[in-house]
Amino acid sequence: MKKLWLLLLLVMLLPLGSAGAQDMVMEVGAGEGRLDIIAWAGYIERGETDPAFDWVTAYEAETGCMVNVKTAATSDEMVALMNEGVFDLVTASGDASLRLVYGGRVQPINLDLIPSFANVDERLQEAPWYVVDRDGDGTKEHYGVPYVWGSNVLMYNTEVFPEAPTSWNVVFEEMTLPDGESNAGRVQAYDGPIHIADAAMYLMYHNPELGITDPYSLNTDQFNASLDLLRQQRELVARYWHDAFIQIDDFINEGIVASGSWPFQVNLLGAQGAPIASTVPQEGATGWADTTMLHSDSPHPNCAYMWMEHSLSAKVQGDVSAWFGTVPSVLAACEGNELLGPDGCETNGLGNFEQIRFWRTPTEDCGDADEATTCVPYREWVSAYIGVIGGR
């Protein structure tokens, strides 16, 4: 925990544009024999967890590029790792992708070298969390290719909640749960500054007088109200989680009964026979649409381009989504995938795209017509959230 927050502070202090940038790759040559990827847990599987889920072995056999994966628990950790400059790719969520772009850590992608990009869901082909005009020449560049997307669900114990909770209040407000016991000490919250957006989204629904319209664009009053809610939540939280497998253990062995989570944990717990389910409550959910991005100083760019093409195959997209509980960026993956099944995309939230508040990096620009209004930038989210967890 202490090491992670020190990495976050390093990210905050890094000057923008400090990394060197390569010219855009114009052709894919022979593979360099190695590929280093920073990824969320469960995103890059080679059959070691479950033999049925393996989208690495075939790639290695075809390209000769041996895949090495560094698992990151938060977006801030991903940014910090990319600052080290020894990786090729990162599966970045929207709260990290623009920091990587404007920090000079990733390079524009030559889409001509990725034919399968044409098969990507049109709603994601120009998404603002990875398609920007960084150099100001009037033309937007693609800084990566979409991977998969999903929502931050409310995971709960079905023995404690015979019926699905209808509100996120079970993790934000002290109450007696259906089993007759308090929720204090039995819930968790995400260990990352972006969790402030979950509090803001809750207040959007329950305190409309605050005027919140976007949980990532908060003026000072809205931001402070969100922090107050998080300080209230702190009195209930048994652990701030960022490791998916530790959260799984906490639900099995430590009496945790409700928390924001990912479908990945829900699926693994369900496969173990644990009394676990998930829901998206009435307030909605935050979510992530992740992008595979290429480091500015990638030591293995040919292997990286071959991986980005591989990652957009319908088979890989379907298998990843079946394993993690996500929605594929290539909609053709929703049909004919044995692991995902005929209803997998709908089950994983395909129809919820317009309702999800996708993660993005908060900036001072509120994105509205009132240019005099200033929103709280991400660096202040980081320091404020450290204070919340520390009891301030």
Q: Domain with 313 in it: what CATH number?
A: 3.40.190.10
Per the rule left: phi > 0, alpha: psi between -120 and 50, beta: everything else, 190 is: beta
Same domain, 47 and 126: yes
- Looking at per-residue pLDDT, the higher value among 143 and 263 belongs to 143
Contact 251, 157 (CB under 8 A): yes
CATH number at residue 382: 3.40.190
Q: Are residues 92 and 188 in the same domain?
A: no
Domain membership of residue 281 (yes or no) is: no
d(CA 356, CA 289): 10
Average pLDDT value for the chain = 91
18 with 164, same domain: the answer is: no
Are both 194 and 309 inside the same structural domain?
no
pLDDT of residue 363: 87
Asked if 323 and 376 sit in the same domain, the reply is no
Are residues 350 and 371 both part of a single domain?
Answer: no
How many Å from the N-terminal Cα to the C-terminal Cα in the chain? 17
Domain co-membership, 187 together with 220: yes
Q: What is the pLDDT of residue 371?
A: 63
Please tell me the pTM assigned to this model.
0.83
* pLDDT value for 370: 58
Whether 9 has a pLDDT exceeding 50, the answer reads no
Same domain, 132 and 17: yes
Of 77-91, 323-337, 345-359, 373-387, the least confident = 345-359
Examine the domain organization and report whether 218 and 323 are in the same domain.
Answer: no
Domain count, the chain: 2
Residues in the chain: 392
Q: Is residue 227 part of a domain?
A: yes
Q: State percent of the chain over pLDDT 70.
A: 93
From 260, 263, 257, 286, select the one nearest 156 (Cα to Cα).
Answer: 257
Mean pLDDT, residues 177-203: 97
Please indicate, yes or no, if residue 280 is contained in any of the structural domains. Answer: no
Domain with 146, as residue range(s), is 2-150+287-358
Confirm if 357 and 212 have CB atoms less than 8 A apart: no
Which amino acid would we find at residue 122?
E
Domain-embedded: residue 272: no
Cβ–Cβ under 8 Å, residues 184 and 235: yes
Residue 96 lies in a domain: yes
Shortest CA distance to 59 belongs to which of 93, 23, 24, 35?
35
Are 254 and 377 found together in one domain? yes
- Average pLDDT on 29-48 reads 95
- 107 and 35 part of one domain: yes
- 367 and 316 assigned to the same domain: no
